[in-house]
Amino acid sequence: MNWLDFSSSAFVAAFFLYCFGFLFFVTAIVGRRWSHGNPDRHEKRWGNIAFVVSVLGLAAHLLFFITRWVGGGHIPISNMYEFMTFLGMAIMVAFTIIYLIYRKPILGMFALPLVVIIVAYASVFPQEVQPLIPALNSYWLKIHVTTAALGEAFLAVGFAAGLLHLLRTIDFAGKSEDSRKERLWIEVTMFMIVVAVGFIVTVFAFRAAGYEAQFTQENVQVSQAGEESSKVETVKYSMPPIVKPFNSTLVHMDSFLGIKQPVLEAPSWMNGINAGRKLNTVIWSFLSGLILYGILRLVLRRTLSAAIHPYTTDIDPDDLDEISYRAIAIGFPIFTLGALIFAMIWASIAWSRFWGWDPKEVWALITWLYYSAYLHLRLSRGWHGKRSSWLTVIGFLIIMFTLVGVNLVIAGLHSYAGA
């Protein structure tokens, strides 16, 4: 067994340990109800078990990271798969630190699923080790990417605690306009998480089934000298094409539920052959997310957030508010250092300028501006509690867009991670 095979096994082990860690955290919290003796003792005992299992998961994850580094010859943070797995690991590190300070098992009930989703999302991308291109061949790759990811990880833990705070404090019985609005938005947030899960499930389901469809698109280009040239591009779908790329020809399509033709065509402004594929993926994610959400609603017979709420009532909301703020206060300087300062130093070495308004740079700046607004609102304008928690939810959306959205939607110098 070589390093890379061992590394893959360690990754699978980490994934399952995280899943079990999550289940044990759930047992610790939900089980308070059916522990006939002492609920606090039950929570403490299962909380400890869950924490140990999660730390073992983190150890396996570290083993994955180190062996892949040795086997691949360079630090595994150079493509989307490697970066997202690293982000998952960084969130575990941040969670572990915050957990050691506050020792609240309920935090694990929110941080662990976040890690599981991110690690599973990472697995959607190609997993081969790709040798470094000259632009990435610098020790600043290690310094910049790891610090930025660790900063983002603390901000993500801040989001987990903030979301928990909202589920804890929102009035699920209230009739007022405000509480109705809050219930709607918290449910929208939960739904978005279900859509993310739906996306992952769909990818793996069709991958397991070996589904494939193919399109070609012919593009006529007129050069500056006025010469016309046409370029034929091919795109492979790994999900049944509900939407085909704009102005494209079907080459081949496995039939899906007896459907042998794409149903719709991407609108003309979505030019570029990959735009159609991405739109198709988004539609599938929402479809499977809706199905998943529907099933959950049928089983629970109420909204997801209302179903989770009762299990959160044993924790003091002020503590959650403080944990969320603390995680962000720890993460913000690390993020500044990694995502902005180290990024500028590297850019000044590799690209001859420290700042170039590349989309990824701009979005890192936007994230930073956003969290600095968060800190000012909190410290100077007294935005504590729910308002502060809502800000962490939006903040996490911005982080995810910076990390994933920019690569998928906007290209740029950081396009190495496109998929």
Partner 1 sequence: MFQNTKCECGHQNPTGTVLCEACGKPLDEKEAGGTDLLEMRYDGAARRSQKADPSIIDQVWNFFSSVKIAVYLIIITLIGASLGTIYPQEDIFLSNMDMASYYKDTYGTLGSIYYKLGLSHTYESWWFILLLVMIGTSLVICSLDRVLPLYRALNKQQIRKHESFLQRQKAVYTGATDNGEEFIALFAKQAKKRHYKVTRTEDALLAEKSRFSRWGPYINHIGLIVFLLAVLARAIPSWQLDEYVTVPEGDTVRIENTDFFVKNEKFTVQYYKDEELPAELRGTNRAKLYRTDAVLYRCLADCGPSSPEPKLEQVASHDIEVNSPLEYKGLKLYQFDYDSTPVLREVSPMLIDKQTGKQYGPFKLAMKNPQTSYELGPYKLELRQNFMEFAIGEDGKPITKSRDPKAPAFIFLIKGPGLSEEGEPYIYFPMQKDKAAFSQDKLNKGIADRFEIKVGSMTDVKFVEFTTFLNVRVDKAMPYIWTGLAISMIGLIMGAYWQHRRIWLRLDGNAVTIGAHTNKNWYGMRADLAAALKAAGIQVDPKSLDNGGNRT
Contact segment (CB under 8 A) with partner 1 among 86-94, 212-220, 291-299, 326-334 equals: 326-334
For partner 1, give the closer residue by CB, 87 or 334: 334
Smallest distance from partner 1 to CB 236, Å: 12
In the complex, least distance from residue 393 CB atom to partner 1, rounded to whole angstroms = 16
Binding-site member from 100, 133, 220, 298 for partner 1 (CB under 8 A): 133
By beta-carbon proximity to partner 1, the closer residue of 174 and 382 is: 382
Instruction: Return the number of the residue (108 or 198) whose C-beta is nearest partner 1.
Output: 108
Which residues 6+ apart lie within 8 Å of 247 measured at CB?
Answer: 217, 218, 265, 268
**Binding region for partner 1 (CB under 8 A) out of 21-29, 37-45, 106-114, 134-142:** 134-142
Task: Tell me the closest approach of the beta carbon of residue 1 to partner 1, in angstroms.
Answer: 18
Give 180 or 236: the residue with its C-beta nearer to partner 1: 236
* CB neighbour burial string for 258-273, b if at least 16 within 10 angstroms, e if fewer: eeeebeeebeeebebb
From residue 211 to residue 240, the character string flagging contacts with partner 1 as x (rule: CB under 8 A) and all else as - is -------------x----------------
Shortest distance in whole angstroms from residue 268 CB to partner 1? 8
> Does 174 engage in binding with partner 1 (CB under 8 A)?
no
Looking at 38, 40, 41, 135, which residue binds partner 1 (CB under 8 A)?
135
Residue 213: CB partners within 8 Å, gap ≥ 6? 236, 237, 240, 241, 250, 252, 253, 254, 262
CA nearest neighbour of 28 among 409, 342, 312: 312
- Which of 34, 37, 261, 269 touches partner 1 (CB under 8 A)? 269
Binding residues for partner 1, total number by CB under 8 A? 63
Of the two residues 242 and 341, which places its CB atom closer to partner 1 in the complex? 341
Please choose, out of 37-45, 57-65, 288-296, 322-330, the segment that lies near partner 1 by the rule CB under 8 A.
Answer: 322-330
Minimum distance of partner 1 from residue 257's CB (angstroms): 30
Which member of 66, 70, 292, 341 binds partner 1 (CB under 8 A)? 341
Q: How far is the CB of 71 from partner 1 (least distance, A)?
A: 12
Cβ distance to partner 1 smaller for residue 303 or 389:
389
Binding site for partner 1 (CB under 8 A): 101-102, 126, 128-131, 133-135, 137-138, 140, 224, 268-269, 316-319, 321-322, 325-326, 329-330, 332-333, 336-337, 341, 344-345, 348-354, 357, 359, 362-363, 365-366, 369-370, 372-373, 376-377, 379-387, 406, 410
